[in-house]
Amino acid sequence: MRSPFSDPFERMNLTICAGALATSLALAPASFTVSLGIGALLEAVSFRALRRATQQLFSSQIGGSSAWSALFGLRFLFLGAAMFVALKAGAHPIGLVLGLSTIVPAVIIVAIRTPVPQAPERDDPVPAPDDPSWDEWNPWLARERDPEEREDEL
């Protein structure tokens, strides 16, 4: 079974959340710290659901964009309901929002640290700019033109 924190985004988010909670515990009232922890928990669950739905969409396990949009909306509905319940229960609004926001620096830090994959070397040379084979390429769709497209243009 995969570790719950095998994802680099989740590990960085856990690190930032732990630092924020430790700082809040030392400098802020207990209600603020509890609200920060609730917000961090809500965003961790929400982010994990978003990552799972996105991975399923890109691996074609989810039927299409409409199903993904429904899951995306449902995730926001549950997040909004959980925030409403937390605020009605007396959570500190700023602590809740700060806890919900810890994913932003985590994603930025991991994105900066992750090396960009290099494109493999091409065996075939790129044609010269005046080569007629460029007429067979559709730059708007980044693929070769269909024969039907060629007939429409003529």
pLDDT digits (tens, 9 = 90+) for 88-101: 999 999 999 999 99
Is the pTM for the entire model greater than 0.95? no
What is the per-residue pLDDT for 151?
57
Res. 137: pLDDT tops 60: yes
Q: What's the count of helices (H) and strands (E) in the chain, helices before strands?
A: 6, 2
Higher pLDDT, 132 or 110: 110
- What are the start-end ranges of the E strands in 37-154? 137-138, 143-144
Res. 132: pLDDT tops 70: yes
Q: How many angstroms separate the first and last alpha carbons of the chain?
A: 58
pLDDT in tens, 57-82: 777 776 666 776 777 788 889 999 99
Nearest to 57 by CA among 43, 69, 47: 69
